[in-house]
Structure 1
Amino acid sequence: MVRIAEHNDWVVYCILGSIFIYIILLSVFQRDSNVKDFLLLKLEDSNNLTPSWLIISIVKCLMTALLLSQFVPIVPKLFSIDVLGFQINKFGFTFLALLSFDVIKNILTFLFYSSIGSGKNLKGLTLVSSKFYFLESIVFIIASFALYFFPVDLVKYFYFIIGMVIFSFFLKNLIYIFHNQSILPEKRYYKFLYICTLQIVPFLVLWKFLFY
């Protein structure tokens, strides 16, 4: 999270590290599955679902931070902490913000599902979200590589990233709503409540936190 020199070696390490982690994920946690097998995996055949979801979520946060950190205006003074001569940079700040929001949102999701008696749907939600975040992070890897290693117009690319993130957000929620598995609460009221309070609101709060 600490960028010592103004080179893009750290970007290469992040991207290659993420790819290597996904190779281990498919080889070890998913028992030598390929990408297609993982994406077509059924709930009853899923193995190591929780650790796989955890790994994918961290990689997704890492790649999202890599993509967005170049456009974050400043690191708030509250987070300008000096530890052994090192200060958190924009990438570290963005990654920690994404990770923290993800942890809080997931805890609230668990409590929400448990409180309304829909805990049985959490496993399906975990599998579907893992598949979606897996694909999303791969797209973000490609987008990050283009951002750091190709001569792109940063202003235009920022608008492209905004469009991509918003499209991804709406696509994810549409998949959640219309998926053939019961991954959301059965009652429409609770579905609406989940989408609004645990999807839309955190997304808007995080965006405001990073860019305003």
Structure 2
Amino acid sequence: MLTFAKNLDLIRIAQQNDWVVFIIIGCLFLYVFMLFSLQRDSSVRGFLTQKFSDSSNNFLSWTIISAVFCLVFATFVSHYIPVVPKIARDFTFFGYELNKFGFTITVVAAFYFIKNLLSYLFFAGTGTLRKWDLFCFTVSKFYFCISIIMIVLCVMSYYFPDAELQRLPFYFVGLLLMFVFKQFYYLFHQNDILPQKWYYKFLYICTLQIVPFLVLWKVLFF
């Protein structure tokens, strides 16, 4: 009995990550527009050290920073999403179903919108609504810095995949430390952005920072 074998050349299909480049370029363009148009030709350092009394177009700047953060955060996290849940795959839009990025950006955007809406209601309910503009101005600087870091992480994750598994623990620890630093940033910032009483400060941190983070983690990875 003769056995014939045929040599097959296996072709490795490279993953196309052009969409990541488009997102990063778009986000950087938004930041350039924000700094030169909304912030009156401000530099990055000038924007970060700007005082509230000297600021302008705070709401538009906060909106742009929020959009950029959601995009780059979803881009980075979607790279590590194991699977898209069936309930999300069953939802189709003109015959297209959500991929990992579509699922992640939908969840992150909804999470971010609801959290900010509840934060606004929290400030209104505690009688400190006058601090809301100062709060948005202050936290936008934090998210601006985080989004820049996220852009760097996106480049590393998608275009330098070597030793990616070895980098995962560092990513996890770095994001965890970033989250912890965020709580101290909110609590002890010199602008005093949270309500005066410590009861309300810890109530905000627990209910509108820690709990939403755990919910987001649960939705994305379990």
User: Which TM-score tier does this pair reach, normalised by the shorter chain?
Assistant: over 0.9
Output the aligned Cα RMSD. Answer: 1.3
Displacement, 1:166?
A: 1.1
Q: 1:86 aligned to 77, 93, 96, which one?
A: 96
Matching residue of 1:201? 211
- Which of the residues 17, 20, 38 maps onto 2:47? 38
Match in the other structure for 1:174: 184
Q: Is 1:71–1:158's contact at 8 Å kept on the other side of the alignment?
A: no
In 2: Cα distance, 1:29 partner to 1:173 partner: 28
Question: Partners in 1 of 2:204 and 2:97 — Cα distance?
Answer: 37
Q: Determine the C-alpha separation between the residues in 2 that align with 1:152 and 1:22.
A: 30
Deviation at 1:151, TM superposition (A): 3.0
Q: State the 1:150 CA deviation.
A: 0.9
Secondary structure of the equivalent of 1:71? coil
**4+ long deviations beyond 6 Å:** none
Q: Matches of 1:159 and 1:135 in 2, distance apart?
A: 21
Whether 2:174 is the aligned partner of 1:164: answer yes
Instruction: Spell out the pairing of 1:1-212 with structure 2 (5 A cutoff).
Output: 6-80=15-89, 81-212=91-222
How far does residue 18 in structure 1 lie from its aligned partner after superposition?
0.6
Contact 2:138 2:191 in 1 (8 A): no
Look up the SS of the partner of 1:125 in the other structure.
helix
Deviation string for 1:125-162 (max 9, x for gaps)? 11111001001000110111011111333323332222
Q: 2: distance between equivalents of 1:134 and 1:49?
A: 13
Question: Normalising to structure 2: TM-score of the pair?
Answer: 0.90
Number of residue pairs aligned between Structure 1 and Structure 2:
208
**Deviation at residue 55 of structure 1 after TM alignment:** 0.9
Identity of aligned residues (%): 45
- TM-superposed CA distance for 1:85, in Å, is 3.1
- Flag the structure with larger Rg: 2
Distance 2:116 2:72 in 1: 19
Superposition deviation, residue 184 in structure 1: 0.5
TM-score by length of 1: 0.94
Aligned amino acid, residue 55 of structure 2: S
Aligned-residue offset at 1:172: 1.2
Q: Which moved more, 1:152-161 or 1:75-84?
A: 152-161
Deviations 1:22-80 (A, max 9, x none): 00011111111110110011111111111111110111011111111011111112211
User: Retained in 2: the 8 A contact 1:64–1:140?
Assistant: yes
Q: C-alpha separation between the residues in 2 aligned to 1:208 and 1:146?
A: 25
Alignment partners' CA distance in 1, 2:171 and 2:162:
12
Residue 124 (structure 1) shift: 1.7
Higher relative contact order, structure no. (Cα contacts within 8 Å, ≥ 6 residues apart) = 1
Code of the residue aligned with 2:112 in structure 1: it is D
Q: What CA distance in whole angstroms lies between the structure 1 residues aligned with 2:81 and 2:132?
A: 33
Query: Aligned partner of 1:161: which letter?
Result: Y
